[in-house]
Amino acid sequence: METTKQQKGWIILGIAALLILGFFVYQNSDKFKPHDWRMSLDEKSKEPYGTQIIKTVLANGIAQDSFILLEKKIGNSLPENADGNSNFVFIGEALLLDTNDVERLLAFAENGNTVFISSVTIPDLLMEEVYFNDCDSIYWEDYGTYYDTAVITNFVHPDLHTAEDFAFPYVRQNKIYNTYWQKIDKYLFCESNNYPVIISQSPDSIVDMAMFPYGDGAFYLQTSPIAFTNFYTTKKNGQQYAEKAFAHLQNGTIYWDDFSNVPAAIGRSRNWSSPDPLTPKEGPLDYILSQPSLAWAWYLLAALGLLFLLFRSKRQQRMIPVLPKNRNTSLEFISTISRLHFTGDNHRRIALQKMDLVLAFIRNKYKMSFTETNDTFIEDLSVLSEIDKALLQKMFLLYTNIKSSEFTTNKTLVELHKLTDYFYKNSR
């Protein structure tokens, strides 16, 4: 008796432990983490930190033929002689450029066009030309950084300045985290003929956007692309900031760079490693292959590896898999198809399929072929099925209206379903 009580106690404890474990797994399941919170800045991403929305807004906010995607390298796709009223826009982590791309971008700005770049790093190749060293002993060394929970900023120009500052905290799953942010160092703004102009900054004078004149045009550099992500452009605060930031664009064509976006780590290593980021760097095998003895050892090792793969790829008998029991999935299939049709909102197609089944039922049971709705057909069918003639007329009139229309409402589909269901259940 005591043994039985102990067994029951252990069973209860085991069930409780399983319930606690199940609750823990449930709380940490993907149901509560449906989004990818990584800072991708991908223009095709619908996740919180993608940039699909701002791209769509720019594409639809102007004439359709005035928004052009650059899906190849800038040096091969950006027009050399733009109309002087155009814009180049890039929003991403880093902009990977070679010398040809830089020359094309500089020529674009020099002709009176606007270049708008929002990124966390900027190529040295480009800034060597854009930032003139008119200040004593001051050189461009990429963006500065600071550690905080959010970017706090406001526009300097009185027409764009707002009473309340814009705040863009780094949020992940509804929690705010500290992270590193970028800034344009204040010492770069010195008085000269080509001095940069501060566009927006924090109350503590942390500059996150500035204008750099170049030729007849200008470069607008913004260091907080988080402000243009889907997470913030769906909020009033982010929409207002984006509207004021893009007020600096000209009214002409927008060329959106859909090609050059790379992760920040790659952008920094490639853009700052050599005068040309496409210049080959010395690889780990260069020294080995330069020494004859080491080269022969490497080739021998590679040959042995290939021989091993060759002989191991020889056919061997596979394990006999355990086949699961056959189960009837007809109801699951019907349920799935029904949900697909219903969620697709194609009520007309569902209605026509229902009537096809009704007509097939009539042909098989009463040997009557339906060609067109007429009184003779309905009278004969009413006699054979013992269904009221008025109900049949209503059902086939509804069917005729659905066939001749291009759209069927949910209410019409429900009404047809009730009529056909009554016909099935009460026909003799």
Chain length of the chain: 428
Over range 242-257, report the average pLDDT: 91
Q: Which residue has better confidence, 406 or 132?
A: 406
Determine the Cα–Cα distance for residues 273 and 267; give it in Å rounded to an integer.
Answer: 10
Q: Predicted confidence band at 274 (pLDDT cuts at 50, 70, 90)? A: very low
Give pLDDT tens digits for 197-210: 899 999 999 999 99
Q: Predicted confidence band at 17 (pLDDT cuts at 50, 70, 90)? A: low
Distances (CA, A) of 115 to 140, 144, 217, 374, 379: 18, 21, 8, 71, 77
- pLDDT for 164 equals 92
- pLDDT for 9 equals 60
Range 331-368 burial, b when 16+ CB lie within 10 A, else e: eeeeeeeeeeeeeeeebbebbeebbeebeeebeeeeee
Q: What token pair was written down for 250?
A: 């000209």
- pLDDT for 344 equals 63
Q: Predicted confidence band at 333 (pLDDT cuts at 50, 70, 90)? A: low
Determine the Cα–Cα distance for residues 399 and 272; give it in Å rounded to an integer.
Answer: 70
Amino acid at 21: L
Asked if the model's pLDDT at residue 77 lies above 60, the reply is yes
Report the SS3 class of residue 175: strand
Determine the Cα–Cα distance for residues 160 and 173; give it in Å rounded to an integer.
Answer: 32
The beta strands (E) that lie in 39-178 are given as 67-70, 87-91, 94-95, 114-118, 144-148, 150-155, 166-172, 175-177
- pLDDT for 410 equals 79
Low-confidence winner among 113-122, 215-224, 297-306, 311-320 (lowest mean pLDDT): 311-320
Determine the Cα–Cα distance for residues 257 and 251; give it in Å rounded to an integer.
Answer: 18
Give pLDDT tens digits for 31-67: 445 677 888 888 888 888 888 888 888 888 754 458 8
Give pLDDT tens digits for 349-371: 888 888 888 888 888 888 887 76
**Phi, psi angle pair for 13, to nearest 5°:** -65, -40
Q: Are strands 94-95 and 166-172 parallel, antiparallel or unpaired?
A: unpaired
- pLDDT for 402 equals 83
In CATH terms, the fold of domain 52-273 is Rossmann fold (3.40.50)
Q: Predicted confidence band at 275 (pLDDT cuts at 50, 70, 90)? A: very low
Amino acid at 379: E
Q: Predicted confidence band at 279 (pLDDT cuts at 50, 70, 90)? A: very low
Rounded to the nearest 10 degrees, the angle between the axes of helix 375-385 and helix 347-366 is 70
- pLDDT for 113 equals 92
Distances (CA, A) of 335 to 223, 356, 408: 51, 19, 22
Please give the torsion angle defined by the CA atoms of residues 89, 95, 100 and 103, in that order, rounded to the nearest 10 degrees. Answer: 50
Asked if the model's pLDDT at residue 278 lies above 50, the reply is no
- CA nearest neighbour of 225 among 263, 254, 251: 263
183 and 207 in contact (C-beta within 8 Å)? yes
Over range 398-418, report the average pLDDT: 83
- Write down the mean pLDDT value for the chain: 80
**Domain positions in the chain:** 52-273, 332-426
95 and 101 in contact (C-beta within 8 Å)? no
Give pLDDT tens digits for 141-190: 888 899 999 999 999 999 999 999 999 999 887 888 888 899 998 888 87
